[in-house]
A and B are shown apart, each in its own frame.
Chain A
Amino acid sequence: MNRETIINLLIALGLIAVPLWAIWADEPFIITLATKVAILALAGVGLNIALGLGGLVSFGHAAFFGIGGYAMGILASHAQNYTPMMEWPLLIEGTKSMPVIWLVAVLASALAALLIGVLSLRTSGVYFIMITLAFGQMLYYFAISWPAYGGEDGLSIYVRNGFPGLNTLDPAQFLALCYAVLFVVLFLSSRLAKSAFGLALSGARQNEDRLRTVGIEPFRLRLVAFVISGAVTGLAGALYADLNRFVSPTMFSWHMSGEIMVFVILGGVARLFGPVAGAALFIVMEHLLGGISEYWQVFLGLTLLGVVLFARGGLIGTLAGRKVTHD
Chain B
Amino acid sequence: MTDPVLVTHDICKSFGALQASRDISLDLRPGEIHALIGPNGAGKSTLIKQIAGGLRPDRGTVQFLGRDVTALDTAARARMGLARTFQISALAMEYTVLQNAVLGALGARGGVFRFFGNVLKDNDLRSAAEAALDRVGLSDQAGTVTGELSHGQRRLLEVAVALTLRPKAFLMDEPMAGLGADGSKRLTGFLDGLRDEAPILLVEHDMDAVFALADRISVLVYGQIIATGTAAEIRENPEVRKAYLGEEDQ
Chain A positions near chain B (C-beta within 8 angstroms): 191-192, 194-200, 202-203, 206-207, 209-217, 221, 224, 323, 325-327
Instruction: Report Cα–Cα, A191/B119, bound state, in Å.
Output: 10
**Segment from B12-20, B105-113, B187-195, B208-216 that makes contact with A:** B105-113
Contacts of B103 in A (CB 8 A): 199-200, 203, 210-211, 214
Any chain A CB within 8 A of the CB of B235?
no
Contacts of A192 in B (CB 8 A): 115-116
Instruction: Report Cα–Cα, A198/B113, bound state, in Å.
Output: 9
Give the nearest-CB partner of B104 in chain A.
A214
Instruction: Report Cα–Cα, A194/B96, bound state, in Å.
Output: 13
Give the nearest-CB partner of B92 in chain A.
A206
Q: Decide: A195 near B74, CB < 8 A? Known: A210-B90, A215-B107.
A: no
Any chain A CB within 8 A of the CB of B50?
no
| Residue pair B112, A197 in contact (C-beta under 8 Å) | yes
| Residue pair B92, A212 in contact (C-beta under 8 Å) | no
**Segment from B27-35, B37-45, B78-86 that makes contact with A:** B78-86
Q: Nearest Cβ in chain A — how far from B224, in angstroms?
A: 27
| Residue pair B106, A323 in contact (C-beta under 8 Å) | no
Q: Nearest Cβ in chain A — how far from B146, in angstroms?
A: 9
Any chain A CB within 8 A of the CB of B207?
no
Contacts of B76 in A (CB 8 A): 215
Q: Nearest Cβ in chain A — how far from B170, in angstroms?
A: 12
| Residue pair B92, A207 in contact (C-beta under 8 Å) | yes
Contacts of B161 in A (CB 8 A): 210, 213-214
Give the nearest-CB partner of B164 in chain A.
A214
| Residue pair B94, A323 in contact (C-beta under 8 Å) | yes
| Residue pair A195, B91 in contact (C-beta under 8 Å) | no
Contacts of A210 in B (CB 8 A): 90-92, 100, 103, 161
| Residue pair A197, B86 in contact (C-beta under 8 Å) | no
| Residue pair B119, A198 in contact (C-beta under 8 Å) | yes
| Residue pair B94, A216 in contact (C-beta under 8 Å) | no
Instruction: Report Cα–Cα, A202/B78, bound state, in Å.
Output: 19
Pick from B90, B107, B114, B143: contact of A216, CB below 8 A.
Answer: B107
Any chain A CB within 8 A of the CB of B118?
yes
Q: Decide: A196 near B96, CB < 8 A? Known: A212-B78, A215-B79.
A: no
Contacts of B102 in A (CB 8 A): 199
Instruction: Report Cα–Cα, A224/B113, bound state, in Å.
Output: 9
| Residue pair A203, B92 in contact (C-beta under 8 Å) | yes
Instruction: Report Cα–Cα, A217/B143, bound state, in Å.
Output: 26
Pick from A207, A214, A224: contact of B106, CB below 8 A.
Answer: A214
| Residue pair A212, B108 in contact (C-beta under 8 Å) | no
Give the nearest-CB partner of B161 in chain A.
A214
Contacts of B104 in A (CB 8 A): 214
Any chain A CB within 8 A of the CB of B75?
yes
Contacts of A191 in B (CB 8 A): 115-118
| Residue pair B74, A213 in contact (C-beta under 8 Å) | yes
Q: Taking chain A's interface residues, is the majority helix, strand, or loop, or is none over half, making it mixed?
A: helix
Pick from B54, B118, B122, B165: contact of A215, CB below 8 A.
Answer: B165
Contacts of A221 in B (CB 8 A): 112
Of residues B53, B83, B103, B107, which shows the largest number of chain A Cβ atoms within 10 Å of its Cβ?
B103
Contacts of A211 in B (CB 8 A): 75, 103, 107
Instruction: Report Cα–Cα, A221/B100, bound state, in Å.
Output: 17
Pick from B54, B98, B107, B119: contact of A194, CB below 8 A.
Answer: B119
| Residue pair B115, A213 in contact (C-beta under 8 Å) | no
Contacts of B90 in A (CB 8 A): 207, 209-210, 213
Give the nearest-CB partner of B147 in chain A.
A206
Q: Nearest Cβ in chain B — how far from A48, in angstroms?
A: 15
Contacts of B143 in A (CB 8 A): 326
Closest 9 pairs (CB-CB, A-B): A214-B107, A215-B78, A215-B79, A206-B92, A212-B74, A215-B107, A217-B75, A196-B114, A196-B119
| Residue pair A207, B91 in contact (C-beta under 8 Å) | yes
Instruction: Report Cα–Cα, A197/B98, bound state, in Å.
Output: 16
Instruction: Report Cα–Cα, A69/B98, bound state, in Å.
Output: 43
Pick from A197, A202, A224: contact of B92, CB below 8 A.
Answer: A202
Q: Nearest Cβ in chain A — how far from B93, in angstroms?
A: 6
Give the nearest-CB partner of A199 in chain B.
B119
Any chain A CB within 8 A of the CB of B222?
no
Q: Decide: A196 near B165, CB < 8 A? Known: A202-B92, A203-B95, A212-B75.
A: no
Known pairs A196-B113, A210-B100; list 12 more (Cβ under 8 Å): A192-B116, A196-B106, A196-B117, A197-B112, A200-B103, A202-B95, A210-B161, A213-B52, A214-B104, A214-B165, A215-B108, A325-B94
Contacts of A207 in B (CB 8 A): 90-93
Pick from A195, A200, A213, A214: contact of B117, CB below 8 A.
Answer: A195
Instruction: Report Cα–Cα, A239/B161, bound state, in Å.
Output: 45
Any chain A CB within 8 A of the CB of B99?
yes
Contact mask B164-207 → A, CB, 8 Å, 1/0? 11000000000000000000000000000000000000000000
Pick from B94, B119, B145: contact of A195, CB below 8 A.
Answer: B119
Instruction: Report Cα–Cα, A49/B207, bound state, in Å.
Output: 47
Any chain A CB within 8 A of the CB of B71?
no
| Residue pair A199, B78 in contact (C-beta under 8 Å) | no
